[in-house]
Structure 1
Amino acid sequence: MVDKGRRDFLKIAVAGVAGLAIGGVSGFFSGSSAYQRRILELESEIEKLKSQTQAVLEKELRVWNWSYYINDALLDIFSEQTGIPRDRIIYEEFEDPNYVLTKLEAGGSGYDVVILPDYCVDIARKKALLAELDKKMIPNVKFIDEKFRNPPYDPEWRFSIVYMWGSTGFAWRSEVEEGVTTLEQIFNPDHEFLQKYKKKISMLEEAMEVICFAKAYLGKDVNDWSDSTLQEVKEVLLAQRPYLAGYMGTEKYYPGLKIGTIYVAQAYNGDIVRLRGEFESVSFAVPEEGGTIWTDNLCIPKDAPHKNSAHAFINFLLDPAVSAVNSEFIGYATPVKASWQFIEEMLEDPVIYPPEEIQKKMWLIPSVSDEIRRKITKLMLEVKAG
């Protein structure tokens, strides 16, 4: 979920969106005129809400996001809608969210909106690095799907709103005819799967992802951090270790799946959506025991210099038409439920939107204390040392 390389494969050219007015965004879809009318109805409704909460916008905005994680043409549209000069909308990219946290902690970053993965929101919230969002200035928040409200990393839903979400599961090449359907294949040494694909299997570098999947295999709650459960997890991972090619991030498992040095990889779904465009013989699924739902979140730093513009930008990104265009462009799932009727093809893709029965078994990355983080680090060091 937090791998810094997972966005490296989202380089798609913008086609035909630049210069559109927000009312024309719906025309970017190939859907029926009825769909477009519905968008206009929704936008009419939110215009009424916006008129009640109009704020004077500063003529500047600074945004910090993951690489290749927005349709850049939408920045032009936002400028046209708000009157903020385009050259005063500064949009910059990062690769490592931990660097963002370091800058926020130092203070004076100058950014108005930052996009943070769930676990970073939890850290930033506890360190008082984020401003509380004024929901009255974000009327489009009404369109956020219920399951993304009050998440464990922001339990009172005061400091963040989900921007996009994805899932962690397993990818495999066509040579793996049986596919990956259960964690028994991944963790049980007595299962023929591990022996059959020995040294062709990779797990993620992100320790939390590995540990949560091991807990699911053991039938444990992902929020169980007792010493006894961690010992069981350690034993499972030590038993699995001889069969692995290694613990890998996107920059390694992505080309590995493509060229065949890796046959099975614990992976982020967005990477596999991209990989399918280059290499058709790859599949992805969340196993029957479940998998991670991860989120990236819109936040405003506590010392943001242009908070009104920041709120306006967040509200803009949550517009059903805008969110649909953005989601379709970058290939990730949107939490804006009113957008879904405009991206029906994406909704039918189980790689992007896991089936509902599977989603019910999925989990968000747990919120943990610094003490637990230290235990996690120690556990994985011991496992990798073998």
Structure 2
Amino acid sequence: MSDKVSRRSFLKVAITGAVGFALGYGAGWFLGSSINHARIVELMREIEELKSLKIKPTFEGKINIYNWSYYINEALLDVFAGKTGISRGEIVYDVFEDPAEPLAKLEAGRSGYDVIILPDYCVHYAIKRNLLKEIDLSLIPNFKFVDEEFKNPPFDPGNRHSITYMWGTTGFAWRSDLVPEGVVSLRQIFDPNAGFLEKYKRKITMLEEALEVVVSCKVFLGRNINDWSDKTLEEVKEVLKRQKQYIAAYAGTSVYYEGLSSGAIYVAHSYNGDIMRLWSDKPETKDKVKYRVPEEGGTKWTDNLCIPKDSQHPITAHEFINFLLDPVVEAINSTYIGYANPVSASKVFIPEDILNEPAVYPPDEIRRKLWFLPMLTEEEKRKLDALWEEVKIS
């Protein structure tokens, strides 16, 4: 779970309250971006139009929001207040560092929140424990803007309890000064006969999360990621055992973050957010550390907007979710925090250097090959744990 936390920890930079800054130069700390003046003017005009809308009589006059730290342009909270007529002081915005925190509040009951942002695997957990209120999509007309790939996800069929907020990928990062050919295919990573593993022996790390590694190996073998047959798992196990003699470690963020920075690690199976954090923390690494999803595809993870079962302001919660899904609002938010959003209609307002950065938006031919990690049954989890234990001790 620690790796899941770290993938957006790079966002810890001071947030200003100026929408103009967020639009014009808010991405500068991330990619040296700027939006042309025409886009800024257009976005500001849209914001004024949003502010001019009047409050619906059914709104409750308050909303409590719980999100990852530094994971929204907080100026948008002011815009939401202007749009709805809710007093800014009645919009409570709290943050957490670990998804265990909101889950603990949900399980304890009386969480005190109306909108909570949860990773996909936590949504699955919360649904199974009946911790979330069903979302009324008739109250969220902007759901029509959400791309089809984010509708009906395996962890929440029918989007009954969640809607994608932001998303990212799992792929491979490498030091381009040390690995000039880069990582293009999973064959480089899993097949010793390709020569890549031998060439960079003990300079490659794989994620320590078993499911990420096993699913990637299944894709390399041409198997369905939901195939948990003994035959397929035996094939996966043999590939991973052969690979293990070449890699440096199964590593978490702290290991490959520092290793890529120093050059001690050449290639790392990694989350895109960790690499963007590295670029933000150490700008000199931007030209040396590259990231991409292999041509066969990679994991697509999502953070999701949810309404707690005990929400006291569910109508306002629905309106806030609807507000965030507006293409203009999505553009403002993504431009500022540097993550991809689920609304393609927002791209017209997002700087091209962000859209063209594969660590944020993979090319379309790769994006079509992304997958959600499967939600495991108890039996499948048992098989995964047994396989992983055998590989680690081999």
Give the TM-score taking structure 2 as reference length.
0.87
Q: Which residue of 2 aligns with 1:341?
A: 348
Aligned with residue 30 of structure 1, among 7, 29, 35: 35
Render the CA deviation track for 1:324-348: whole Å, top value 9, x for unaligned.
1110111110111221101141222
Say whether the 8 Å CA contact 1:165–1:295 is kept in structure 2: yes
Question: 1:268-307 alignment to 2 at 5 Å?
Answer: 268-277=271-280, 278=282, 279-280=285-286, 281-307=288-314
Render the CA deviation track for 1:201-234: whole Å, top value 9, x for unaligned.
1111222211111111111111112222222222
Structure 1 residue identity aligned to 2:265? I
2:263 and 2:121 map into 1 onto residues whose CA distance is 32
2:189 and 2:243 map into 1 onto residues whose CA distance is 8
1:171 and 1:155 map into 2 onto residues whose CA distance is 32
User: Are 1:77 and 2:53 matched, yes or no?
Assistant: no
Say whether the 8 Å CA contact 2:8–2:277 is kept in structure 1: no
Distance 1:233 1:43, change over 3 A: farther
2:105 and 2:228 map into 1 onto residues whose CA distance is 30
Render the CA deviation track for 1:296-331: whole Å, top value 9, x for unaligned.
110111111221221122112112221111101111
CA positional deviation for 1:291:
0.7
1:35 and 1:7 map into 2 onto residues whose CA distance is 26
Q: Which residue of 2 aligns with 1:367?
A: 375
C-alpha RMSD over aligned residues: 2.9
2:39 and 2:333 map into 1 onto residues whose CA distance is 21
Gap regions ≥5 residues in structure 1:
none
Question: 1:210-229 alignment to 2 at 5 Å?
Answer: 210-229=213-232
Question: 1:222-237 alignment to 2 at 5 Å?
Answer: 222-237=225-240
Number of residue pairs aligned between Structure 1 and Structure 2? 380
1:261 and 1:60 map into 2 onto residues whose CA distance is 51
Q: Which residue of 2 aligns with 1:116?
A: 118
Distance 1:237 1:327, change over 3 A: same
SS in 1 for 2:341: coil
CA positional deviation for 1:39:
9.0
Distance 1:83 1:64, change over 3 A: same
User: Are 1:13 and 2:20 matched, yes or no?
Assistant: no
2:170 and 2:6 map into 1 onto residues whose CA distance is 14
CA positional deviation for 1:41:
7.9
Structure 2 residue identity aligned to 1:80? G
Task: Indicate the percent of aligned positions where both proteins have the same amino acid.
Answer: 54
Question: 1:298-317 alignment to 2 at 5 Å?
Answer: 298-317=305-324
1:27 and 1:275 map into 2 onto residues whose CA distance is 20
Say whether the 8 Å CA contact 2:10–2:276 is kept in structure 1: no
1:85 and 1:35 map into 2 onto residues whose CA distance is 26
2:83 and 2:63 map into 1 onto residues whose CA distance is 14
Gap regions ≥5 residues in structure 2:
27-33
Say whether the 8 Å CA contact 2:174–2:268 is kept in structure 1: yes
Say whether the 8 Å CA contact 2:23–2:335 is kept in structure 1: no
Render the CA deviation track for 1:42-75: whole Å, top value 9, x for unaligned.
997x999x98x94533233222222221122222
CA positional deviation for 1:34:
7.6
SS in 2 for 1:130: coil
Structure 1 residue identity aligned to 2:364? E
SS in 2 for 1:9: helix
Aligned with residue 322 of structure 1, among 317, 320, 329: 329
**Segment drifting more, 344-353 vs 321-330:** 344-353
Q: Which residue of 1 aligns with 2:58?
A: 56
Say whether the 8 Å CA contact 1:18–1:76 is kept in structure 2: no
Q: Which residue of 1 aligns with 2:248?
A: 245
Aligned with residue 140 of structure 2, among 138, 141, 144: 138
Distance 1:334 1:242, change over 3 A: same
Say whether the 8 Å CA contact 1:3–1:206 is kept in structure 2: no
Say whether the 8 Å CA contact 1:54–1:137 is kept in structure 2: no
2:309 and 2:318 map into 1 onto residues whose CA distance is 13
CA positional deviation for 1:180:
0.5
Distance 1:348 1:241, change over 3 A: same
Structure 1 residue identity aligned to 2:337? I
